Structures are given as C-alpha cells and as structure tokens.
Amino acid sequence: MSQAKLSIEHISKSFTEKKGGKVTHALLDFNLEVAAGEFVTIVGPSGCGKTTLLKIVAGLEIASEGAVYLDDHRVTVPGPERGLVFQDFALFPWRDVTGNIVFGPELLKVPAVERVKIAEHYIRLVGLSGNERKYPAELSGGMKQRVAIARALANNPEVLLMDEPFGSLDAQTRSQMQKELLYIWQENRKAVLFVTHSVEEAVYLSNRIVVLSESPGTIKQIYSIDLSYPRSRSDHGFISLREKITGCISENCR
Amino acid sequence: MLFLLAWEIAALLANLPQLFPTPVDVLSALYALLIAPGPAGLPWAGELWGNTLISLWRVLVGFAIAAVSGILLGVAIGWWRNARDLLEPIIELLRPIPPLAWIPLAMLWFGLGFTPAVFLIWLGAFFPILLNTVLGMESTPKKLVEVAKTLGASSGQILFKVCVPFAAPSIMAGLRIGIGIGWMCLVAAELTGSNSGLGYMIMYYYSTMEAAKTVAGMLMIGIVGFLMFTALKKMEDNLLFWRVQS
Amino acid sequence: MLPFIRKQAFLVFAFIMTVPLWGGLSCTPATPATVRIGYLLGDLHQLPFFVAQDKGFFKDEGINVQVAGPFDAGPAEMDALAANQLDMGYVGIAPSVLAAARKIDLSIISGVNLEGSALATEIGINSVADLKSKKVATPAPGSIQYVMLGMLLSQNSLSFSDLDLFPGTIKPPDMPQSLQTGRISGYFVWEPFVAKSVVGGYGKALVESKEIWPGHPCCVVVTRNDFALKNDNTVAAVIRAHRKAVQFITDNPADAKTIAQKWTRLDAAIIDNAFTRVKYTYALSKDDVKRFAREIISLGESGTIKPIITAGDVPDLDAFVDKVVDLQYIQR
C-alpha cells in the first residue's frame, strides 16, 4: 500500500497510424506518485504526451498499458473526484458564472440550497464577486479561467488536473493567475497535477517538476523544488533552477 | 413613401388596372376585403381576416408538428450513431424533393383542404429544422463534453445539459428558416385543392381579374410572413440572450 | 450538362420550326405571318384548333401558328392575352366577357362550339339538391362552367354557399380521379372530362349544360384588338382555317374523333361519349353573348355567386356587346 494520493503506474500509450500501420508511442512506461496536497508539474517539449497523460488520469483516454490509482482504487473512467481545467476554459456559454460553477454539483444532485453556498464560496475564492450573473461572452480571458478553476473545485475533487490553464492568457494576467492559483491551492490543499510548457511557471508553482522527453514520452528527470513560497522570480536559486530545467528539456539534465 | 408614390404614378401611366393596380386601388380593395363576409365558418371575421386566420391556423399546426418531429429526430440522429446510419440515407433522398412536388401525393393521401396543406407545411418546415438540429448537436465541442464528463455527467446528462443547450441556437435558426418555408408552402398548397386561406383568396381574385384584390392578398401574405419571422427572431433573441453580448 | 442538352434541343427545334418557312419562301413571296394562339388544357371543345393544325389548314392560309398554353382555365388565358403573351385565343365565352368588362381590349370574333359541359357526380347523387354541403369542383371562378353551375343552382333555388365549392383549385384533368377516389362528390367541367367518369363507370352526367340553357354558347375565338388592327388579313385567315376545321368535323366525324384521340390521348369510348354532348359551330350570336353577360351579373346580384361583374362594370349592355362582338371575320 502506497501513501500516495494518486499513483500512475507503468502507463504507456501508443497509436497505430491508419496508413501503414506504423505504431507511435506517445508515452512509454510512465511512473509517478503524487502525494496528498502536493503540487506536481509536468514540463517537456510540445508533443511529448503531457496532455495525453493528463487525459488518461482524467479517464478521458484509455492507456494502452498500465494503470492509474486514486487512493489505491483503480480509475478508468472520468469521475468528479478528479477535476480538470483546460487551457481554453471550455465554459458553457449558455450558463452564467454561477451556472457554470454549480454545473458539477447539479449533476451530482446536490440540493439547491447547498449549491448556492458552494457557488458563493468559490466565487469569493477565485475573486469573481459581483460577476455572478455574467455570461462567458462578457468575461475576459483571466475571468473565464477563474470560472473554470472554480467549476473544477466546486465538486470538491481530490486531485486537480490542469492542462496548460494559463497558456492563452497575456503575461500580466498570467502571473496574476499564478499567484491566485497558489493562494487557492494553499487554502484547499488539493493534490495538483499541472501541465505547462513554461519552465518559469513550473518553478514558480510546484513542489516537484517532472521533465518529459520527446516521443516516446518518458521521464527524463524529476526535480524537487525546495524554495519557500511565495517565490521570487529574480531570486538566485529560482533563476539557476529555471536554467537547469530548461537545459534538461533541450539537452542534458544535471 | 417614395416607393408608393412611384408605384402610383407608374400604375397611373401604365393605365392597365386589370394588370397593374395603383396603391389607391389596393387600399380600396383592402377595405372591400375587410368588410366582405368571411369564408365558410368564419363569416364574422371578414374575408381578409377570415382567410388570414385559416392560413395562420394551418401554418401553426403544420409548423408545430414540424418543430416537434424535426427536433426530436434531429436530437436522435445527432446523438445515436445507429439512428444516423438508419435515417440519413432516407433523409438525403427525400430532402432534395421540393415540397411542392408533393402536392399531387398530398391530395391523393389527404384529400382536400386542411390536412394536405398541413402536410405540405410540415414537409417544408421539417427538413431545415431537422438538419439544423443535427448540425447543432454534431458541432458540440468535444471539450465541453469532456469537461462535463470530468464533472461527473452521465450520458443522459451530457445529452440534455450539454449537447441540446449547445444546439439551441442552431435549432432556433432552423425554426426560423422552417417557418418561412412553411409559409411559402402554405400559400402554394392553398392554390391547389383548397377553397379557403390567403393563397386561395389571391387565386380567386386572379381568376376574376380583380388585380387590386390579388395584390391586397399578396400584401397580407407578405405582412403575416414578416410578422411571424420577426416574432420568432424576437423569441430567439430572448431565449439565447447569452450569445448576443459585446 | 443540362443547359447544354437544352440548347441543342432548342437548336434542333428551331431548325424544324423553320422547315415550313422554306416552302413558303419558294412558293409565295410573302413570309407566313406568325400568330400566337392560346388554348385550354385538354378541352375537347377546342378540337377545331387541333384539326386545323393536323390538317394543315393554317399552313394552307399561309399562317404560322405558335401554340401557347395550355391554360388551366380561361381567366389565366385572358390574362396572358392582356399581357401581350398571346394574339388570339380559343377560350370560353364567360372569361372573354369578363376580360372585356375589365377593359381588356379584345374582340370575340367566332364561335367554336355550343353546349358540351355537364355536372358529373357520383352514381349515388340523384338530384342537384343531393349535392348540398358536398365538395364540388369547377374550373376557375369566371369560367363558363362556374357560371353555368351558378345558373343550375339558381334554377334549383340553391346558391354556392350551399355547396363546399372548389373553384379553380383542382385542374380539370384531375377531376375524374378526384371523383373516383371520393375526394369530391361532383364537378362541372368541359368535355372530355365528364365522359371520362361516365365511361369509367364511377360517375354520371347528372345535368348536361344544354338542359340549363339549350344551345348555350361555349368556346369562342378572341383576338386582341391592337393585333387585329395591324394584322387584319392574318386574323381573317385564321378564322377561314378555323371555319374549314369546324366544317371538317361536321363532315368527317370519324376522322375528327381520331384526331381528338391523338390529341387528348384518351380511349375512343370516352371521345365517342364526349362527342354526344358537344356541338361544333363557328356561328356566333350577339344575343347569346348579351344573355351570358346578363346571367353573370344577375347571379351576382341574387347572391347565388360572389359578384364577378356588376351592372356598374357594364352600364350599357347593348353597347358593350356591340363593341366586344365582331362578326366581320366569320362573314368574310
């Protein structure tokens, strides 16, 4: 029995090309354990299978080999205990901010009175007070992503899966959102599995960083970040770690 | 206003009242139609309103059936692969047949008057509603479905809480197109095998060479069609207010 | 693909159409005059028009006929005449009078036939009164048959509001089938569509039009006055050919029936039956035209039908008929 919240064991994912029948490995023998309350980030060149891994954990894709366990229970299909946040928000345009956030609880038949409380709580947490009745078309990119995070949190998941959630935001909004995500994480202490291609973002947020190699996606190196929160991007230790990991992605790892 | 004046002058110059009535002729024809007794069963309504009511009733019944059948079938086709494989060939075969080509068969199957007209309206309105529903269902982004799944949605919940709401704008557009085509089919249906309604009325006055009354009837057809279209557009804007933001 | 074929077909057609022209050019100095003549859908009354074409009577007169139509009913044909789509037309007397009353500048210049329509009903109908509240079809409002059904109802103290009338929304050729399938209980129409139900055994001629008005006028030939004014000789030649055709039908009924069969594509039995009700003649009587106009007006006044022509439209009936009926061509 492992102590991990989430364990990913020997995951491989291969695709057979329709023409020629050539087999491509997106992921090969991937192993990772995420402890409760731990923030783990996966970085790597584009096309290394980061998103595929996240989808397998979410249950949206099926692994060719290996298994995913949550608290020692094997998971194969999507479930509300694993919340997912996409890069492009994927909000329901016909629902207002509150409507989007309570979507999960609604599906799980949480009573209406309870839902109102949940909505209020998460709207305050992600700093969207005053925007409850706005529709996605009226929101800025940063606000949309806050709604998406709140929506994922509203189901009170045990693990939060985030697929480049800030990738489509401008730099200023992005760093603002990173700060807020850390705040939310510290408030909730969820396990987070975060995918990004920004090393700086990874170093700023994570307890551990997993560097994936390009096809097939295998673990090249795992770094533990011992810097204390909140981290400063101009800090010497921050910069040297960033350089080390960036080098590891493109060339060799130290 | 300028258009009316130009029309009046052109018609006066042409001096062919039996072919080209002036706006004044049409106005007096409208008045005559308002005070003339209405069609059988509706004499109190006057000829113009009586026939308008008959036409409206036909179109509403035909359209309602088309809306219900088109949306239900469209959702089924958009959702179940099997329904799609089964029905798509039939639909693709029937769809290109202009509704008016069904008139002889409509009369053969349903006789005269109300039922064949309703059938033709249904036929005209059904396909745009169906196709728009299918289109809307199928264009539901995969991401939204995935998000719903991770939030714990069952497949029934995905259908009714994600795909159908997502398809709503497309369905509404289908309804709007459908009612326009249905109205056109109605008028055509009333020219054949009918003895009431606005289509019949203009045919009657065309036959008795009362061009002003024919034009008055056409005007009414245009106005009612426009009003129905506008009403549906208003309804659409109200229902789908979430997409018309800046 | 399709437009290409149509273009080719059109060229071939145009080529064939010019063939008679060559003969004209080589034999006579004058090129044949072209006349656009309209007719009604499957109307046996207008057989002289087809006999004249079939026997080459028009060609003999140096006339190139451009056949226009068929029209479902007379009013539509009169509309085409007014819109200068036609020069002359074989049409019912009622639509001609109606068109003239609507100030369309035309003249009625020859008769075609007398009588020849009937009220066909289901076998089970035994009197006009039996048709009360039943579905009955006629050609368009303002056609002869529409007016004569009004006269028949009036003679039986009934009116159109006693029937469930479908005027003009069922085409004459579709009426026998509508009767056979029970969609309507009766119809008043031109031949051979009464004969078709009679011979088919599912209908009967309950009342023939000659019982309503013995020797009533029916189809006539009309011409637009501005056309006749400029083409006096051509119009006269058309009427000469028309007279020859009427004479041919009278003299050779068997041959005429063969031509009728060829044109209507109906069985000999139906044509035989229809022939018993039609009298072909080019004669035309001003009194008959006057009476027809008077009937239309009084049917409207008595409320039997919705008023079509009012006394106000035709204040002086004698002057109206004198202006509309032009007997000079049948006398030339």
> Could you read off the pLDDT of A2-36 as tens digits, one per residue?
468 888 888 888 888 777 777 778 888 888 999 98
Last residue of a domain, one of C190, C212, C234: C212
Residue C299, domain member (yes or no) = no
Largest separation between any pair of C-alpha atoms in chain C: 64
Identify the three-state secondary structure at position A160: strand
Residue C186 in contact with residue C131, Cβ under 8 Å? yes
Q: Report the CATH number at residue C204.
A: 3.40.190.10
The answer to whether residues C226 and C327 belong to one domain is: yes
Give the chains touching C; criterion: ≥3 Cβ pairs < 8 Å: B
Last residue of a domain, one of C197, C212, C227: C212
Cβ separation B40–C75 shorter than 8 A: no
Cα A250 from chain centroid (whole Å): 23
Residue C123 in contact with residue C204, Cβ under 8 Å? yes
Q: Could you give the strand order of the β-sheet that contains C186-190, starting from the edge strand earlier in sequence?
A: C164-167, C135-138, C186-190, C117-122, C203-208
Residues of C in contact with B25 (CB under 8 A): none
The answer to whether residues C37 and C129 belong to one domain is: no
Give the dihedral of Cα atoms C299, C305, C310, C314; nearest 10 deg. Answer: -60
The answer to whether residues C316 and C242 belong to one domain is: yes
Residue C152 in contact with residue C207, Cβ under 8 Å? yes
Q: What is the pLDDT of residue C191?
A: 87
Q: CB neighbours (10 Å) of residue A75? A: 19
Cα C189 from chain centroid (whole Å): 11
Q: What is the pLDDT of residue B133?
A: 94
Residue A231 in contact with residue A186, Cβ under 8 Å? no
Please state the pTM of the whole predicted model. 0.80
Residue C83 in contact with residue C166, Cβ under 8 Å? no
Query: DSSP alpha helices (H): ranges in chain A?
Result: 50-58, 97-101, 103-107, 112-125, 141-154, 171-188, 199-205, 236-250
**DSSP per-residue codes, C162-218:** GSEEEESSS-GGGHHHHHHTTS-SEEEEETTHHHHHHHHTSEEEEEEHHHHSTT-B-
Q: What is the pLDDT of residue C5?
A: 42
Residue B213 in contact with residue B29, Cβ under 8 Å? yes
Q: What is the pLDDT of residue B16?
A: 65
Tokens of B16: 């062919």
Task: Give the closest-approach CA distance of A131 to chain B in angstroms.
Answer: 14
Residues of chain A above pLDDT 70, percent: 98
Of B230-239, C6-15, C110-119, C268-277, which range is least confident? C6-15
Q: What is the pLDDT of residue B18?
A: 62
Q: What is the pLDDT of residue B189?
A: 87
Report which of B161, B146, B153 is spatially closest to residue A99, judged by C-alpha positions: B161
Identify the three-state secondary structure at position A104: helix
Report, as an integer, the average pLDDT of B241-245: 65
The answer to whether residues C160 and C205 belong to one domain is: yes
Residue pointed to by tokens 């190139």: C64
Strand (E) or helix (H) holding A69: strand A65-70
Name the burial class of residue A219, with classes exposed (0-12), middle (13-18) and buried (19+) by CB atoms within 10 angstroms of its CB: middle
Domains of chain C: total: 2
Cβ separation A83–B152 shorter than 8 A: no
Report, as an integer, the average pLDDT of C82-110: 92
Q: What is the pLDDT of residue C3?
A: 43
Q: What is the pLDDT of residue B118?
A: 92
Q: What is the pLDDT of residue B10?
A: 75
Cβ separation C73–B206 shorter than 8 A: no
B19–chain C Cβ distance below 8 A for any pair: yes
| Distance separating alpha carbons of residues B93 and B90, to the nearest angstrom | 5
Cβ separation C168–B207 shorter than 8 A: yes
pLDDT of residue C16 exceeding 60, the answer is: no
Split at pLDDT 50, 70, 90, the class of C7 is: very low
Give the chains touching A; criterion: ≥3 Cβ pairs < 8 Å: B
Report which of A194, A196, A126, A191 is spatially closest to residue A154, judged by C-alpha positions: A126
| Mean per-residue pLDDT over chain A, rounded | 87
Residue C236, domain member (yes or no) = yes
C138 DSSP β-pair partners: C167
> Within 13 Å and on the Cβ side, how many CA atoms surround C24?
17
Report, as an integer, the average pLDDT of B232-240: 86
Chains B and A touch (3+ CB pairs under 8 A): yes
Output the CA–CA distances (angstroms, integers) from residue C148 to B19, C117, C130, C212, C270, in the order listed. 26, 9, 18, 7, 23
Chains C and A touch (3+ CB pairs under 8 A): no
Cα radius of gyration rounded to whole Å, chain B: 22
Split at pLDDT 50, 70, 90, the class of A213 is: confident
pLDDT of residue B196 exceeding 50, the answer is: yes
The answer to whether residues C105 and C231 belong to one domain is: yes
Residue C14, domain member (yes or no) = no
pLDDT of residue C26 exceeding 60, the answer is: no
Task: Give the closest-approach CA distance of B163 to chain C in angstroms.
Answer: 42
Pairing of the two strands A219-224 and A208-212: antiparallel
Split at pLDDT 50, 70, 90, the class of B244 is: low
Residue of A nearest to B140 (CA): A92
Q: What is the pLDDT of residue A26?
A: 82
Residue C279, domain member (yes or no) = yes
Of A207-221, B66-80, B156-170, C186-200, which range is least confident? A207-221
Q: What is the pLDDT of residue C196?
A: 92
B149–chain A Cβ distance below 8 A for any pair: yes
| Distance separating alpha carbons of residues C307 and C142, to the nearest angstrom | 10
Cα C6 from chain centroid (whole Å): 31
Residue of A nearest to B149 (CA): A78
The answer to whether residues C103 and C148 belong to one domain is: no
pLDDT in tens, A136-166: 988 988 899 889 989 998 988 999 999 988 8
Report which of B150, B102, B144 is spatially closest to residue B123, judged by C-alpha positions: B102
| Distance separating alpha carbons of residues C294 and C286, to the nearest angstrom | 12
Residue of B nearest to C94 (CA): B208
| Mean per-residue pLDDT over chain C, rounded | 86
Q: What is the pLDDT of residue C92?
A: 92
pLDDT of residue B28 exceeding 60, the answer is: yes
Identify the three-state secondary structure at position B17: coil
| Distance separating alpha carbons of residues C139 and C68, to the nearest angstrom | 19
Last residue of a domain, one of C212, C241, C269: C212
Report, as an integer, the average pLDDT of B50-73: 94
What contacts A60, CB < 8 A, 6 or more positions away? A78, A84, B146, B149, B150
Split at pLDDT 50, 70, 90, the class of C41 is: confident
Task: Give the closest-approach CA distance of C186 to chain B in angstroms.
Answer: 14
Higher pLDDT, A66 or B242: A66
Residue C11, domain member (yes or no) = no
Name the burial class of residue B13, with classes exposed (0-12), middle (13-18) and buried (19+) by CB atoms within 10 angstroms of its CB: exposed
Output the CA–CA distances (angstroms, integers) from residue A78 to A37, A61, A107, A193, B150, in the order listed. 21, 9, 13, 15, 5
Report, as an integer, the average pLDDT of C125-132: 92
For residue C105, what are the domain limits? Answer: 33-115+216-294+309-331
| Mean per-residue pLDDT over chain B, rounded | 86
The answer to whether residues C205 and C227 belong to one domain is: no
Residues of C in contact with B195 (CB under 8 A): 164-167, 169
The answer to whether residues C107 and C224 belong to one domain is: yes
Residues of B in contact with C168 (CB under 8 A): 203-204, 207
Cβ separation A94–B165 shorter than 8 A: yes
Report, as an integer, the average pLDDT of B130-135: 93
Burial annotation C17-39 (CB, 10 A radius, 16+ → b, else e)? eeeeeeeeeeeeeeebbebbbbb
pLDDT of residue C35 exceeding 80, the answer is: yes
The answer to whether residues C317 and C249 belong to one domain is: yes
Chains B and C touch (3+ CB pairs under 8 A): yes
Cβ separation A135–B162 shorter than 8 A: no
Residue C226, domain member (yes or no) = yes
Tokens of A115: 């839902």
Q: Which of C169, C171, C187 to mutate to test the interface with B (most CBs of B within 10 A)?
A: C169
| Distance separating alpha carbons of residues B125 and B141, to the nearest angstrom | 27
Report, as an integer, the average pLDDT of C250-268: 89
pLDDT of residue A47 exceeding 90, the answer is: no
Residue C92, domain member (yes or no) = yes
Residue B165 in contact with residue B78, Cβ under 8 Å? no
Residue A167 in contact with residue A196, Cβ under 8 Å? yes
Residue C106 in contact with residue C88, Cβ under 8 Å? no
pLDDT in tens, A76-89: 899 888 999 988 88
Task: Give the closest-approach CA distance of B135 to chain A in angstroms.
Answer: 18
CATH code for the structural domain at B54-91+98-238? 1.10.3720.10
Report, as an integer, the average pLDDT of A62-68: 89
What contacts A156, CB < 8 A, 6 or more positions away? none
Q: What is the pLDDT of residue C180?
A: 93
Report, as an integer, the average pLDDT of B148-168: 91
The answer to whether residues C188 and C319 belong to one domain is: no
DSSP letter assigned to residue B162? I
Of A42-46, C29-33, C76-80, C214-218, which range is least confident? C29-33
Residue C71 in contact with residue C38, Cβ under 8 Å? yes
Residues of A in contact with B171 (CB under 8 A): none
Q: Could you give the strand order of the β-sheet that contains A23-34, starting from the edge strand earlier in sequence?
A: A23-34, A6-16, A65-70, A73-74
Residue of B nearest to C162 (CA): B40
Cα separation of the two ends of chain B: 35
Cβ separation B150–A79 shorter than 8 A: yes
pLDDT in tens, A215-238: 777 888 888 888 888 888 888 888
Q: CB neighbours (10 Å) of residue A214? A: 14
The answer to whether residues C228 and C262 belong to one domain is: yes
Report which of A56, A106, A110, A109 is spatially closest to residue A78, judged by C-alpha positions: A56
Residue C326, domain member (yes or no) = yes
Residue A13 in contact with residue A26, Cβ under 8 Å? yes
B246–chain A Cβ distance below 8 A for any pair: yes
Q: What is the pLDDT of residue B163?
A: 92
- ipTM reported for the complex, 2 dp: 0.85
Split at pLDDT 50, 70, 90, the class of A175 is: confident
The answer to whether residues C180 and C245 belong to one domain is: no
